[in-house]
Structure 1
Amino acid sequence: MDTRHHIYLASQSPRRRELLKQIGVHYEVLLLRNDPRRDVHVDETPHDGEDPEDYVQRICRAKALAGWKTLGLRELPLSPVLAADTTVTLGGHIIGKPDDNLHAAEILRMLSGTQHQVLTAVAMVFGERLEMRLSATTITFDTLSEERIHRYLLTGEAHDKAGAYGIQGHAGAFVKHIDGSYTGVMGLPLYETVELLKLFGYPAP
């Protein structure tokens, strides 16, 4: 494949955008609009009994393929599509994004004083080729009082985040120990992402 200096990012996450900018990757955001006529919606509902690692990779693959399909539907210039998905797992159970503050508080109580895993799958697709990497990080949380949980929810950071927290914000103070990829917990493991970029001919940062 010829060297490409441009990719599409199939994600609305500002953290993923910031991380790509951090390593100097030129990208264009590709939004997957939920248009039933275009059939590019990704259903992120876990299957019954689905293993968290299988789940996060399945959703990541679906997002990458939906992004590639979107390029064709919109007749955009073809370049590799990068997608990622992050999930938090505790005791083998998938913990998704909170529905509201009450749900977020419930999730944070579950994570309080425990070890949990953050799984982030990242995939790149171009034509018939799709490559994927998986980052697994173990996080040890401090014991959180109701007051700390309440104060954290007032920041608004819990919204739309797997596990109801963002490590790059106020919740960084909850983390006693991290074993794995910090950027993976943020939503885009940079080491694995660079591996994919190199596979698709993008000059490595």
Structure 2
Amino acid sequence: MLGERLRLFRERRGLTLQEVADRSGLSRSYISEIENGKKQPSIKALEALAAALNVSLDALMPEGDTDGTIGDKVRMLREQLGLSRAELAEMADVTPGFIAQLENNKTQASLTTIRRIAQCLDVSLCYLILEDETAEEIIRALNPELRTLLQEPRVQLVLRMVCDMTDREFEFLLQFIRLLRRSGLQ
């Protein structure tokens, strides 16, 4: 159970509820309710708690809670936003049946569709398509030079361009990168 894992990490670090509250920006009573299984936290709250406890988001989640598939993430986010499948489907211009199949990992969506769903759920495309690691964990793992590089306006422009690519353009870029790696011209 999530609450039990949260309490375990907090106690192992010798932290009080108030200390975790101060570090995470969440209220002490809210954290207590999560620990006691009375509240189900949002992704943002979980990320804040993970950061406060200096653990990965995956470490907080009990095994079996999520496999990290796109469908699992879509279901979790949709439910947290209080949306029905029909409401999300209408917002993303797909059918409710498609959302059900996606959430049950019975179909795969095009990049364009995943991008629309991500926008409807107010998350980045990367959040839905990256497996296992959160973007924060990936950024933390980067060397300082690369982190600095990612802050440069030209690099951010390229990243924005990638986010606005069509499926075909994105696939072409991926193929180009694969070819570049195979050629050893990096």
TM-score, structure 1 normalization: 0.28
In proportion to residue count, which structure has more strand? 1
The structure with more radius of gyration: 2
TM-score, structure 2 normalization: 0.30
In proportion to residue count, which structure has more helix? 2
